[in-house]
Amino acid sequence: MTKIIINGREVEADPKEPLIHACHQNGANVPMYCYHPGLSPVGSCRICQVEVKQGNGPARVVVACRTPVVEGMVVDTEAPKAHETRRECLEFLLKNHPLDCPICDKAGECDLQDYAFAEGQGEGRSNEPRRKLDKRKSLGDVIVLDEERCILCSRCVRFTEEITKKPQLAVVDLGSRSTISTFMDRPLQGNYQGNLADVCPVGALTLKAFRFQARVWNLKKSLSTCGECSRGCAITVEVLRRKDVKRFRPRYEPKVNNWWMCDTGRFSSERHNATERLVPAARRGSQGLEIASVERALKQAAEFLSGAVACIGSPFMTIEEAQSFAKLCSQLGAKPAFVSPAPSGLKDDLLNTGDPCPNRRGLLELGFEALSPAASRARIAAAPAALLAGERVLELCERAQLAAIRGPRIATFDTHALEGDACDVAVGIPEQVEKSGHWVNIDGHVGKLTVARAAPAGVQALTRSLDELRALLTSSGVASR
């Protein structure tokens, strides 16, 4: 570590990282466009100007992203000269920027907007016509490019070169005619395109799926973990008006995903906007599945859950849910198991593990047995009664084939219950974005889930339902073993 002075305070800085990193680590507000902590610094946008003094040399204004940290250097990020240079730079950046913030999806989380608001001149001096370019250039299924908004920071180019290692984007043409393009305008490929919209500091690269969907300041952001594979990327869940999950975005987590996530995970947010949910519970009556109270449904389940019950959990169960489930299994004398579907085939060498079970490691460590969908069904078919619990458990056991099983009486705890499902009792549970808890990822890292959206009224947490069921079983004489 190297000792340097930032804004009058002596701090320790990593000599392998550029000066801007040390500034940000120590709370100094240095703006940046081309610099991204996950990408190589190119020093082209010139906005991160700070004043640096080394030894007895004169104070110089330099770009912090290309300045190495040197022992004893004195850095002033708020020097008038640095601010002046940044203001000039900002004026140039805004020269051809369309300022269509009112219709831009990035507005509200745009680095250019934020910094122009904080430091800009308020009034433009240019009365030249702005650059006219393609406002909506499709770059494949995921991303749309607005060439006019682009400030040519080249973060997206470096992302494809350095992170996915499949270079697809380039700056084409020279000078003020430069634009971002794919080779011969071919569509972008790969499972990491969504990150391009995240690294873009302005609204040039936006997600087609998020285009004109919401103003970002209306989105409530909650910390969570992606459930699409056993990597468990740290994410934020962004919910509009307490209802629609609009976005999953990666959250910086150096032990897991750094700043990135795959498109499979990113767009799995769609799944959480299903309108038909099981609220609060149902039981099979003469008219098929009839809505019932949770209490009534649990009581009925407690009546038939005895003997050699097959207990199958979902790999989406959190550690907390799994613990309740395991206690219930132990009371029923069953071995806890979870359904483990076949690999998704999406495995790559960046993040996606191809294993669709986000909490596999956590469940295995709790002593759960992993069963293939077929093995799960066989275990259910062979038992007089079955307990299926956890988000998507019916889907993962392959709903249609599960429905064909005749014989055992089945209680399910899932977000959905369809008329054709093989269940006698169904209790509604919260979804991934509606619960708090923990998952353990493939490397043993504990990912946290928090409540991004309240579960539908009446639906209670799976842990509570399982614990209540266990209490009912105790009082009806099924001894805890």
Partner 1 sequence: MSNYPTYLLDRAKITDAHTLAVAQKHGAYEALRKVLKEGISYAEVIRVVKDSGLRGRGGAGFSTGMKWSFMPDPVTDPRPRYLAINADESEPGTCKDRVLMEQDPHGFLEGCLLSAYAIRAKVIYIYVRGEYRAPYNRVLAAIAQARAAGLIGKKILGSDFDCEVWMHKGAGAYICGEETGLMESLEGKRGHPRPKPPFPAAFGLWGQPTTVNNVETVFNAPFIVLRGAEWFKSMGTKTSTGNLLVGVSGHVNRPGVYELPFGVSCREILEDVCGGVWKQRKLKGFLPGGSSTGVLTAAFIDTPMEHDAIKQTGSMLGTAAMIVMDETACMVRAHEIIARFYEHESCGQCSQCREGTQWLHQIFHRIEHGKGRMEDIDMLVTLSRGMAPAKTICALSDAAAIPTLAAVQHFRGEFEDHVKQACCPFLPAGTKRPVFAGAH
Tell me how far CA of residue 318 lies from CA of 208, 310, 315, 364, 447, in angstroms: 32, 20, 8, 12, 10
Q: Which position among 11, 31, 85, 147 is part of the footprint of partner 1 (CB under 8 A)?
A: 85
Q: Do residues 390 and 314 make contact, with C-beta atoms less than 8 angstroms apart?
A: yes
**222 interacts with partner 1 by CB under 8 A:** no
> Contact letters (x/-) for partner 1, 175-204, by CB under 8 A?
xxxx--------------------------
Structure tokens given for 173: 């043409």
Minimum Å distance from CB 23 to partner 1? 18
Q: For residues 97 and 377, which CB has a smaller minimum distance to partner 1 in the complex?
A: 97
Q: Which position among 95, 271, 327, 399 is part of the footprint of partner 1 (CB under 8 A)?
A: 95
Angle at 435 between CA 432 and CA 439, to 5 degrees: 65
- Residues in 20-49 at the binding interface with partner 1, rule: CB under 8 A: 42-47
Q: In whole angstroms, what is the distance from residue 35 CA to residue 44 CA?
A: 9
**112 interacts with partner 1 by CB under 8 A:** no
Residues 6+ apart with CB under 8 A from 311: 325, 328, 329, 332, 334, 335, 336, 337, 386, 387, 389
Structure tokens given for 234: 């740290």
Q: Report the candidate in 433, 430, 441, 432 with the shortest Cα–Cα distance to residue 463.
A: 430
**96 interacts with partner 1 by CB under 8 A:** yes
**149 interacts with partner 1 by CB under 8 A:** no
> Contact letters (x/-) for partner 1, 3-22, by CB under 8 A?
--------------------
**157 interacts with partner 1 by CB under 8 A:** no
DSSP tag of 394: H
**54 interacts with partner 1 by CB under 8 A:** no
**150 interacts with partner 1 by CB under 8 A:** no
**262 interacts with partner 1 by CB under 8 A:** no
Minimum Å distance from CB 45 to partner 1? 5
Q: For residues 54 and 236, which CB has a smaller minimum distance to partner 1 in the complex?
A: 54
Backbone angles phi, psi at 412, to 5 degrees: -120, 150
Helices (H), 26-105: 80-95
Minimum Å distance from CB 44 to partner 1? 4
Q: Using CB under 8 A, list all residues that contact partner 1.
A: 42-47, 63, 66, 68, 85, 88-89, 91-93, 95-96, 125-126, 128, 151-152, 154, 171, 173-178
